[in-house]
Structures are given as structure tokens and as C-alpha cells.
Amino acid sequence: MAKKSFFKKHSEALKRATLQGLMIVVVSVVTLEATSLLQYYFSSRSITEEANRRAEGHLKATELQILSVTDQVETAVRNTLWSVQHQTGKPDSLAAITSRMVSQNNVIYGSAVALIDKDIAPYSFRNGEEVSLSTLATQEYDYRSQEWFCKPLELGGGYWSEPYYDEGGGGVIMTTYSVPVMVKGKPVAVFTADVSLDWLTELVGKVKVYPNTYNFMISRSGRIMVSPAETLVMRHSIQEVAQKSDGSEVFAGVGEAMLSGQAGDTQLKYKGKMLRVFFDTISRTGWSMSIIIPEDEIYGESKRVGFVVLLLQILGVALLIVILYSTVKNQRALKLASDSKTRIEGELQAASDIQSSMLPKTFPPFPSRDDIDMAAAIVPAKEVGGDLYDFYIRDEKLFYCIGDVSGKGVPASLFMAVTRSLFRSVSNHEHSPAKIVTTMNDSLSESNDASMFVTFFCGVLDMKTGHMVYCNAGHNAPIALTDRIGELPVDSNIPLGIMPGFAFTEQEADIRYDDAIFLYTDGVTEAENIHHELFGEERMIKVLHTRRSASEQMACVADAVREFRGEAAQSDDITVLFIHYLGKDESGDNVLRINFDNDISQIPRLEGFIEEVREATGIDAGLAMSLNLALEEAVTNVMMYAYPEGSSGSVNLKAILREECVEFVLWDKGIPFDPTAAPEADTTLGVEERAIGGLGIHLVRNIMDSISYENKNGMNILTMIKNIK
Amino acid sequence: MEVKITEQDKTLVAQLAGRLDTAVSQEVSAQLQPLVDNADRTLILDCKDLEYISSSGLRIFLTIRKAAAAKGGKVIVKDISTEIRQVFMMTGFLNLFEVVSSAE
């Protein structure tokens, strides 16, 4: 269930991350595109404006150049007109004038003076380097019907003819400027100057607003004067072209606009391409010029830039997606990594829990025994380690051990578990610590592929005598708390698991009542503070100097280490085992024992115990009953006051039989309670005044010869002595 | 521990046999409740077969005695052993109870 909800949670988180990534991409794209569109809009507007400016500029420049030519012709004509007016009667002179016109003005191709009244029309024209003379007054030509002749007379002023193709004059496009020659207010002749328009083709044709623009020039009537398609020139009119083209209407429209003498610009579609047409009409001649620019030309650059920008954007977005994807993936990988780390830590915790659950954890471990006070604990480091301790009592002997497996983590933990179970199984049928350790070593060395080892101390304490046999296999020497405090002397045996067949040696010691053995792992002495100083044995022994109960002693050491370590991390397991020996009464007298659970229904068992005492001491039945009564009162008191109702606990009683007295020692590990502090019951009071309670301790006091209470080593100890001799 | 209550001419006689210790005191206390309820009469605690009594037993005796004192009854403790007499002495109960012996 937990796994499922974990994956669900996980996938939700992933979905969220993916969604966030998508959002980032979408917002980025929208922002980018909006910016690009705006930029495109403004830039294309400015490009259009730029195109207009350029086209108009070119048109104006071309117009000016054309005007400079026409002006030149018109000026030449005007300046010569005076001579013509005075020479109308002299045909030879007129021929000379026309000849001069041509020779003196480079732009003028030919010049004629055609008389109205007479058939006289001398015409000079450029013939290579020479200027030749001819006459227009021929029967075939009939100059009087020609446009150049009629129009100026009709208009009464200068007139630029429609361009025409001069067959006789060298096959060039020409136009003629003609003015009426007035004598005394009457027109007498028409004076003309022909202008070759081949320069016009060059002039107009070379106007290149953009690399691929097309320039047209049409005459007043729509005749095409300049065109990139040379076949059209002079042969067709704009109207004819319009009819042939796909976008005839548009062409026609443009043509109309051009012919109406307007300036402006328009758009048209030709052969699937959008074209932009700028046009302007040149005053005087009535010619209209247009520049046709394909929109590709105008916007081509910006489109190319736009394309590059778009490409860059796509690239950028793709990059963004890749980055986001890898970020999400990394996060997922990170999460997975942290998940698996958490899982491993969880497993290690479980391993640690299993490890510690294998060790005796209930303290006091032997609640019914008054001869031993023990406490032990492993304060595990963050990483599961391989510390162990164990103890149990068999055949009135305390088997105990402490060990520290090399290394950390699961392997150490497993090795520790193996070591501990070996200790249990081997010591179960063996009393000698050296033999226990040797057997364990052989077993551990045999199957030790991981080259692990464990430092180990094993002791066997005879609870009755205080005689202790022990074997140290490379572990820290325990601290013996006897009359003095110091290391227990230990032989230098090697740790377990290194060398099979190693013969371990054991040592012996005798401890007495109230002596203690403190066993520890190097997690205590090698605890480091932030300055990398070690806690050390000296500090540890200083703590041990004050005599306390086992559990208090252990707590004090742990506190001292914690305080010393401060902010620094605990790098190793801290394991301590404290054995406080309270056995072997020094008197050496006979001792009888009885233990009760916290249950008054067990009170009748006292009778049997008293019977034992009576048999051992030979006291009479009356005294026996009195002792029974006193002890019942004392035991009941403990059951009533030391242990809260319903709690379990042990009430222990021993009778130390001496020559002249019996010493009853009653102890428990319940709430400190001193029965001797209870006020003396007044037995002289009458019925009404007598209290119901308080009789018990009164009886104890009356029956026993002495009674004393102390709270020691976490125990209530009531000592009652009855003299029997 | 055995308790047997008999009525003889408005006198209630409780025969106590065995050991009256803490373990049984509650049960005995319940069994002797009729004596507390009839404390206006003469109540006889026959201790001929009482082997042992602890303070919890004495407490029951005292409760009955107090009830009798309140209701105007009378409590007679009959035939206590030497050992129990000693206990009565120690606790001042000899002053509180009329202790009789059938031999007298």
C-alpha cells in the first residue's frame, strides 16, 4: 500500500514538473512570437516606407534627368526661333539654321523648319559624324498632316510628339519638339528638333531601386517607350500589354493611373508574384515612368532575416525543451536516488533494529536477583554498526560479552549477529571463556570471506563467589571499579575472525560485593568533538568515579560523551555494559531467599519460607509466627506502596542466618518508599480513636529487634534483624 | 481460611479457622459483613481454630469493634492462641476487645 501511494505521489510530482516545463515552453514561444510579429510589423512598415522613398527618389531623379534633356532641347529651339522668324523667306538660310541646330546640340538628332504656305521643309539630321540635309517636303510624307506639324499650331505653343520609330533616321526611337514660328502674330512655319530616345532607354533602364526591378516608360498615349522586354518597345501600348497579362485589370488600372498623369503607387499580381508599382508622370512630355518592384525584392531581405530569426527561435525553443527535459529527468533521477537512499537507510535502520532486538534490552535484567545490578546500551551511530553486547545467567554464573566488529554497514551488522549467536550457542555448554572465544574464533575465521574481524571480551562471573574468569580478544580492557578504578589486566589476544586455531588465553579475578566492571567499545573513548579531540579514557574514568546504580552510571557516561561531542556527529556506535556485583555476602553465612511477584495472593508462600528459617535456626513456633507476621507486614507494604496498583514488579526477601540473629533483607526496584518513616501507631487509644491502618509497620517494629531502610542502587532495601539467642 | 457464622439467641457467632493473612483478608472481610450489619447485638468471634492473624485481619476485627461501639453492640473474642494473644498485646487489642476463654 505504501509503495503504491509512493509511486502515485512520485508520478504526480513528475506530472507537475512536466506541466511546469510545458508552461515554460508555451510562455516562451508565445512571448518570442509576439515579439517577432511586432518586430516584423514595424520593420516591414519601415521597409515599405524605405521602398517608397527609394522608388520616389529614383523617379524624381530620372524625371530631372529627362527634364534636363528636354529643357536643353527646348532652350535650343527657343533660342534659334528668332533666327527662323527672320529667315522664313530664305529656304537656304533655314537649311543652315537646322544644320546648325544639329551640329551645335548633341542631344538633337535632327531639326526641320516646315513652312505652312509653301512646300518648303528643310531637314538636317545627324548622319554618323556628319550632318546631312534633306527635305520633308515630299509627296509621300505630306508633312502638313503630321502630328508634330499640326499640334503646335493647334496648341499655339511647343509640343513634344509621341515617340516614334524613325525608319529613315537610323532606326532609333525619336520624339520631336516642335514650336510654331510666328511672324507678325501669324504662324508661318513649324520649327522642330528631333531627339533620339536611345539615351532614355539607358537612363530609365539603369534605374535600379532593387537588383531586380523593372522600369517602364510609356508615352502620353500609352505607347511603351522603355521596357525590359525590348520587343514591346514602340510596338505595343500599355493597354495592349494589360490585355495580354494575367492580371490584366491591374495592369489596365496601373496604365490608366499612369496615363492620367498622376503619381503614386499600387500593387499588382503578375505571374503569381506580388509586384509593387511606383509611377510618376514627367511634365512637358507627358511621359509616364513606372518602377515595378517585386515584393520579394522589397521584403526579401527582411523575410530572409525573419526566416533566420524564426530558425533561431525554433532552435532556442528546442534547446529550452531539451534543457527542461533534462532538468525534469535529473530531478527524477535525483528523487529516485534520494528515494533509494531513503530505502537503503530504512533497511539499515531495520537491520539495526533487528540487531539491537537480539540483545538483552530489559533493565534491570534480573529483577529478582539482589546480587547483580546491570545496565547496557548501544547508542547507534547514523550508519548501522557492528557493536554488540550480551549476557545471561546460567548455573549461577553470569556469562557476558562485548564486541566491536570492524567496519560499518550491513556486513558489519550481519557479522555482529553471527558473533552474538555464536556466543550464545558456544557458551551454552562451555564455562571457560578461553574455550568459548577459541571456538567462536575458529568458527568465525572459517567462513570469513570478507576478512572482517571482531574485537571481543568475554567473561564468566560466578555469582556466588564473585570469581570471574575472562578472555579478551583484542578489545578495550574493561574498567574494574573495586577499591580503586582502573583497567582490568588483559592478555593481548588477537581479535576474532583473523586466524583460525589461535589459542586464546584467559585470566581470573575476584570481585567482591559492590565491585563493578565497566565494559565499553571505542565509540566511547574515540568520540570526537568539533575540534577533533577524543573523549578518551581519562574523561570516561572520571565519570565512573562517582558510584551510581548501573543504569545511572550508563546514562552519565552517555551524557558525558554527548556533551563532549557537542555539535560533532556521532561517527561510531557507543556501547557500554555495566555490571555491578552485589552478591557474595561477606559474612559467609547461610542465606535463604524468596521472591514474590507484586501480588498479595503470594503472601501465604511466606509460611514455607519461615518454616525453612525455623528449621535452619531452630527457633520456636511462636517466634516463627511473629517473624511470619512481621515479614508479611513488610512485604505487603512493598506491594502496597512501591509498586502502583496493577504494575508488575518483584519483591525479594532473603534471610541471612547468623549465630545470634537472623537478618532479613527485603528489597525491591519499585518507587522509593521508606516504611520506617511512618509515624508510630498509638496502641493506647480507645476504639473510636484507633486508626484502621498503621498496624503493619508497628508490628514489624515490635517483632524485630532492629529495622533500617536505605535506597541504594535503585532499590528499596529494608533490613530487619531478629535476635535469636 | 474458613468462616462460619451461626446465630444463637440473637447472638452472632463467627467461627474462624485457619490463617487470616493479607491474601485472604478481603474475602474474610466480606464474609464477616453480617457482623458489621448486626453490630447492635452481641457478636462472638470464635478464634479457637485461628492459627494466624496479620494486621489486615486485625483491621477486620477493629472494623467490627468500631461498628459495635457505634451501634451499642458487644464484641467478644473467644479462645485466641498464645501467639495471637501476643499480637493482641502488641497492638493494644487486648484493651479494645473482651477476650474470653471457654476454659474459664
**pLDDT band per the 50, 70, 90 thresholds, residue B14:** very high
pLDDT value of position A199: 77
**pLDDT band per the 50, 70, 90 thresholds, residue A355:** low
Measured between CA atoms, the residue of chain B closest to residue A698 is: B91
Most A-contacting residue of B19, B20, B22, B50 (CB-CB within 10 A), to test interface: B22
Q: Does residue A608 register a pLDDT over 80?
A: yes
**pLDDT band per the 50, 70, 90 thresholds, residue A3:** very low
* Percentage above 90 pLDDT, chain A: 17
Q: Calculate how close chain B gets to A638, using CA atoms only, in Å.
A: 13
* Best CA proximity match to A456, nearest among A531, A543, A389, A527: A389
Q: How many CA atoms lie within 13 A of B22 on its CB side?
A: 25
Q: Could you give the residue ranges of the DSSP H alpha helices within A156-213?
A: 198-205
Q: In angstroms, rounded to a whole number, what is the distance separating the alpha carbons of residues B24 and B32?
A: 12
Query: Given the C-alpha cell 537472623, which residue does it identify?
Result: A662
- Residues in chain B within 8 Å Cβ distance of A693: 59
A537 vs A339, more confident: A537
pLDDT value of position A466: 87
CB pairs under 8 A between A and B: 75
Residue that finishes a domain, picked among A541, A559, A581: A581
What is the four-CA torsion angle of A265, A268, A274, A275, rounded to 10 degrees?
Answer: -40
pLDDT value of position A295: 80
When pLDDT is averaged across residues A31-56 and rounded to a whole number, the result is 82
Q: Calculate how close chain A gets to B1, using CA atoms only, in Å.
A: 11
When pLDDT is averaged across residues A34-38 and rounded to a whole number, the result is 83
- Do B59 and A687 make contact, defined as CB atoms within 8 angstroms? no
Regarding whether A649 and A549 lie in a shared domain, the answer is: no
**What are A653's three cell numbers?**
526477601
pLDDT value of position A168: 57
Q: Taking all residues of chain A, what is their mean pLDDT, rounded to a whole number? A: 83
- Do B82 and A622 make contact, defined as CB atoms within 8 angstroms? yes
Q: Does residue A573 register a pLDDT over 70?
A: yes
Amino acid at A161: S
**Phi-psi region for residue A502, left (φ > 0), alpha (ψ -120 to 50) or beta?**
beta
What pLDDT digit, counting tens, does each position of A520-567 carry?
998 899 888 888 888 988 899 888 888 778 888 888 898 999 899 888
For chain A, give the number of residues: 725
Residues A138, A54: contact at Cβ < 8 Å? no
DSSP A388: E
Q: Does residue A367 register a pLDDT over 50?
A: yes
Q: Calculate how close chain A gets to B19, using CA atoms only, in Å.
A: 9
pLDDT value of position A196: 82
- Residues in chain A within 8 Å Cβ distance of B62: 687, 690, 692
Nearest to A688 among B54, B55, B69 (CB): B69
The total number of structural domains that make up chain A: 2
Q: Does residue A385 register a pLDDT over 80?
A: no
Regarding whether A596 and A575 lie in a shared domain, the answer is: no
Q: Largest alpha-carbon pair distance within chain A?
A: 196
Q: Does residue A397 register a pLDDT over 50?
A: yes
A236-240, A539-543, B8-12: segment of lowest average pLDDT: A236-240
**pLDDT band per the 50, 70, 90 thresholds, residue A437:** very high
Regarding whether A607 and A553 lie in a shared domain, the answer is: no
- Residues in chain B within 8 Å Cβ distance of A688: 66, 69
Q: What are phi and psi of A101, to 5 degrees?
A: -55, -45
Amino acid at A267: Q
Domain contains A124: no
- Do B90 and A688 make contact, defined as CB atoms within 8 angstroms? no
Q: Calculate how close chain B gets to A703, using CA atoms only, in Å.
A: 9
Residue that finishes a domain, picked among A525, A548, A581: A581
- Residues in chain B within 8 Å Cβ distance of A690: 62, 66, 92, 96
Residues A258, A290: contact at Cβ < 8 Å? yes
CATH code, A701: 3.30.565.10
B89–chain A Cβ distance below 8 A for any pair: no
Q: What is the ipTM of this complex?
A: 0.91
Q: Calculate how close chain B gets to A683, using CA atoms only, in Å.
A: 5
- Residues in chain A within 8 Å Cβ distance of B55: 629, 633, 636, 695-696, 698-699
pLDDT value of position A685: 83
Regarding whether A658 and A543 lie in a shared domain, the answer is: no
**pLDDT band per the 50, 70, 90 thresholds, residue A678:** confident
When pLDDT is averaged across residues A406-414 and rounded to a whole number, the result is 79
Regarding whether A666 and A550 lie in a shared domain, the answer is: no
What pLDDT digit, counting tens, does each position of A441-498 carry?
998 888 777 678 999 999 999 988 888 999 999 999 999 998 788 899 898 889 998 8
Domains and CATH numbers, chain B: 2-100 (3.30.750.24)
Regarding whether A649 and A625 lie in a shared domain, the answer is: yes
Residue that finishes a domain, picked among A549, A581, A613: A581
What pLDDT digit, counting tens, does each position of B16-71 carry?
999 999 999 999 999 999 999 999 999 999 999 999 999 999 999 999 999 999 99
Q: Over A202-258, what HEC string results?
A: HHHHCCCCCCCCEEEEECCCCEEEECCCHHHCCCCEHHHHHHHCCCHHHHHHHHHHH
Distance of CA A17 to the CA centre of its chain: 10
B72–chain A Cβ distance below 8 A for any pair: no
- Residues in chain A within 8 Å Cβ distance of B52: 625, 628-629
Range of the domain at A703: 590-723
**What are A248's three cell numbers?**
490584366
Regarding whether A658 and A533 lie in a shared domain, the answer is: no
Regarding whether A405 and A385 lie in a shared domain, the answer is: yes
- Do B86 and A622 make contact, defined as CB atoms within 8 angstroms? yes
Contacts 24+ apart (CB under 8 A), A699-706: A699/A629, A699/A630, A699/A633, A699/B54, A699/B55, A699/B87, A699/B90, A699/B91, A700/A630, A700/A633, A700/A634, A700/A675, A702/A630, A702/B90, A703/A626, A703/A627, A703/A629, A703/A630, A703/B90, A704/A630, A704/A664, A705/A661
Q: In angstroms, rounded to a whole number, what is the distance separating the alpha carbons of residues A571 and A381?
A: 6
Domain contains A414: yes
Q: In angstroms, rounded to a whole number, what is the distance separating the alpha carbons of residues A14 and A325?
A: 11
- Do B19 and A698 make contact, defined as CB atoms within 8 angstroms? no
Q: In angstroms, rounded to a whole number, what is the distance separating the alpha carbons of residues A369 and A142?
A: 159
Nearest to A632 among B22, B69, B95 (CB): B22
Nearest to A625 among B52, B62, B96 (CB): B52
A12-26, A99-113, A336-350, A422-436: segment of lowest average pLDDT: A336-350
pLDDT value of position B61: 94
Q: Classify residue B69 as exposed, middle or buried by CB count within 10 Å of its CB (0-12, 13-18, 19+).
A: middle
Q: Which of A139-148, A358-367, A434-443 has the highest mean pLDDT?
A: A434-443
Domain contains A497: yes
Q: Does residue A415 register a pLDDT over 60?
A: yes
Q: In angstroms, rounded to a whole number, what is the distance separating the alpha carbons of residues B68 and B84?
A: 22
Measured between CA atoms, the residue of chain A closest to residue B91 is: A683
A39 vs A472, more confident: A472
Query: Given the C-alpha cell 494473644, which residue does it identify?
Result: B85
To which H or E segment does residue A108 belong?
strand A108-115
Regarding whether A636 and A573 lie in a shared domain, the answer is: no
A575 vs A262, more confident: A575
Domain contains A81: no
Regarding whether A594 and A528 lie in a shared domain, the answer is: no
What pLDDT digit, counting tens, does each position of A299-333 carry?
777 777 778 888 888 888 888 888 888 887 777 77
Amino acid at B17: A
- Residues in chain B within 8 Å Cβ distance of A645: none
pLDDT value of position A649: 76
Residues A435, A443: contact at Cβ < 8 Å? no
Distance of CA A71 to the CA centre of its chain: 80
Pairing of strands B98-100, B74-78: parallel
Most A-contacting residue of B1, B20, B21 (CB-CB within 10 A), to test interface: B21
DSSP A477: P
Residues A697, A675: contact at Cβ < 8 Å? yes
Nearest to A690 among B19, B54, B96 (CB): B96
**Alpha-carbon distances, residue A344 vs A157, A319, A388, A409 (angstroms):** 111, 36, 22, 10
| Sheet with strand A715-723: strands edge to edge | A590-597, A650-657, A661-668, A715-723, A706-712
Regarding whether A471 and A602 lie in a shared domain, the answer is: no
Most A-contacting residue of B47, B77, B83 (CB-CB within 10 A), to test interface: B83
Domain contains A117: no
pLDDT value of position A2: 44
Q: In angstroms, rounded to a whole number, what is the distance separating the alpha carbons of residues A672 and B26?
A: 26
pLDDT value of position A81: 86
Domain contains A219: no
CATH code, A421: 3.60.40.10
When pLDDT is averaged across residues A496-522 and rounded to a whole number, the result is 89
Residues A219, A144: contact at Cβ < 8 Å? no
- Residues in chain B within 8 Å Cβ distance of A702: 90
Residues A703, A627: contact at Cβ < 8 Å? yes
pLDDT value of position A11: 64
DSSP A601: G
Q: Calculate how close chain B gets to A374, using CA atoms only, in Å.
A: 33
Domain contains A59: no
- Do B91 and A699 make contact, defined as CB atoms within 8 angstroms? yes
Domain contains A314: no
- Residues in chain B within 8 Å Cβ distance of A599: none
The chain A residues in contact with chain B (CB within 8 A) are: 600-604, 607, 621-622, 625-626, 628-629, 632-633, 636, 681, 683-688, 690, 692-693, 695-696, 698-699, 702-703
Most B-contacting residue of A596, A599, A629 (CB-CB within 10 A), to test interface: A629
| Sheet with strand B98-100: strands edge to edge | B2-8, B11-20, B42-53, B74-78, B98-100
**What are A606's three cell numbers?**
511466606
Regarding whether A657 and A577 lie in a shared domain, the answer is: no
Q: In angstroms, rounded to a whole number, what is the distance separating the alpha carbons of residues A367 and A388?
A: 22
What's the whole-model pTM score? 0.42
Measured between CA atoms, the residue of chain B closest to residue A690 is: B62
What pLDDT digit, counting tens, does each position of A126-167 carry?
887 888 888 888 888 888 888 888 889 988 888 888 888 776
- Residues in chain A within 8 Å Cβ distance of B83: 621-622, 625-626
Nearest to B62 among A621, A692, A703 (CB): A692
**pLDDT band per the 50, 70, 90 thresholds, residue A1:** very low
- Do B83 and A625 make contact, defined as CB atoms within 8 angstroms? yes
Query: Given the C-alpha cell 471457654, which residue does it identify?
Result: B102
When pLDDT is averaged across residues A415-421 and rounded to a whole number, the result is 85
